[in-house]
Copies of this chain bind each other. A is one copy, B any other.
Amino acid sequence: MLDERKLAVLRAIVQDYVGTEEPVGSKALVERHNLGVSPATVRNDMSALEEDGYIHQPHTSAGRVPTDKGYRLFVDRLAEVKPLSAPERRAIRQFLDSAVDLDDVVARTVRLLAQLTRQVAVVQYPSLSRSSVRHVELLALAPTKVMLVLITNTGRVEQRIVDSPVPVGETVLADLRARLNARAGGRRFPEVPALLQDLPEAFEPDDRPIVAAVLSTLFESLVERTEERIMLGGTANLTRFGHDFPLTIRPVLEALEEQVVLLRLLGETADRGMTVRIGHEIDHEGLNSTSVVSVGYGSGDESVAKLGVIGPTRMDYPGTMGAVRAVARYVGQILAES
């Protein structure tokens, strides 16, 4: 059905359309790519491709535009991820290296991705559930108020205020702190609740309420909202979306404001390997004219979070995928070092 040449035609259409943003016709195609056949032949192939739903004609006597299905085929079978150039890689490395803390790493990553791909970049903070406990700190703020500070191996810090039903002595606090760290230190977050469950029993009955309060706050913060945090950048690139963009850009901006949507978007990313979702493959209405390229990143083999970019379906997939992959790799390295 789809012989070599038809695939070549599709590839050429995608490439040209991405470059020019305009429907591409048979004549222009043969001129720009040496397909070795005449426009008439290409026209026949185009007809077949359209029949099969890979390309589409906005109106009679216009050129062809790839459909989502066409891009899908292109990404799956026709495109090679384009690696970054050595200077580019060096620049990335250098830029990320000078980050001073986790916030900075994430912020720089977002900027970098947005600049390299000229699209909207999204970076998820290393997820708590994939991280482990580096340290738990307890501070008495007031007689019945304790601040709980949680530091992860990825450098993330979470704080919470715990209200104690009874005044808390410094000795109890010190004891609790020591025990928490002894039991939970170095452990993965998901394991933590089980490890600490019977902790109150190690304390005097009088002190158990505060121990319980601290524990419940701790457990909460492991699963809650703050679990997943996201940073966004390059929204100005939305303006390069297309001619008709007032219509397109609005729902996209709205979607980007919804952390939930972004989280779901990244959540659907495979842990290993890159995920590309194109147009209507994304099940969020406002994003049906966009594509998302995302990938997990992490310090070891394992991914601790995801990052990616969002752009028009008409995007340079090979280049974007190259940039996303490279950035993910370097961020992983940086995290491993710190």
Contact = CB atoms under 8 A, between A and B. Distances in A.
Interface string A86-109: 000000000000001111100000
A335 to B, nearest CB: 13
A141 interface: yes
A102 B157 CA distance: 13
A153 to B, nearest CB: 9
A139 B155 CA distance: 12
A151 B149 contact: yes
Interface in A60-109: 100-104
A234 interface: yes
B161 A137 contact: no
Given A141-B134, A149-B149, A235 B257 contact: yes
A157 B160 contact: no
A74 B163 CA distance: 49
Interface residues of A, number: 35
Interface in A202-249: 225-226, 233-236, 238-239, 245-246, 249
A250 interface: yes
Given A149-B157, A246-B245, A137 B137 contact: yes
A234 B257 contact: yes
B151 A155 contact: no
Interface in A129-187: 134-135, 137, 139, 141, 147, 149, 151, 155, 157, 159-161
Contacts of A139: 134-135, 137, 151
B236 A253 contact: yes
A338 interface: yes
A257 B239 contact: no
A250 B257 contact: no
Contact of A159 (B155, B161, B239, B257): B155
A254 interface: yes
Residue of A102, A134, A149, A254 contacting most chain B CB atoms (<10 Å):
A149
Contacts of A249: 239
A234 B338 CA distance: 34
A141 B245 CA distance: 50
Contact of A236 (B155, B157, B245, B257): B257
Leading 7 A-B pairs by shortest Cβ distance: A236-B253, A239-B250, A236-B254, A157-B159, A135-B139, A137-B137, A235-B253
Given A236-B250, A245-B246, 16 more contacts: A100-B160, A100-B225, A100-B226, A101-B226, A103-B226, A135-B141, A135-B147, A137-B139, A137-B149, A147-B151, A149-B157, A151-B159, A235-B253, A236-B254, A239-B246, A239-B250
8 contacts: A134-B141, A135-B147, A137-B137, A139-B151, A161-B338, A235-B257, A236-B250, A239-B250
Interface of A: 100-104, 134-135, 137, 139, 141, 147, 149, 151, 155, 157, 159-161, 225-226, 233-236, 238-239, 245-246, 249-250, 253-254, 256-257, 338
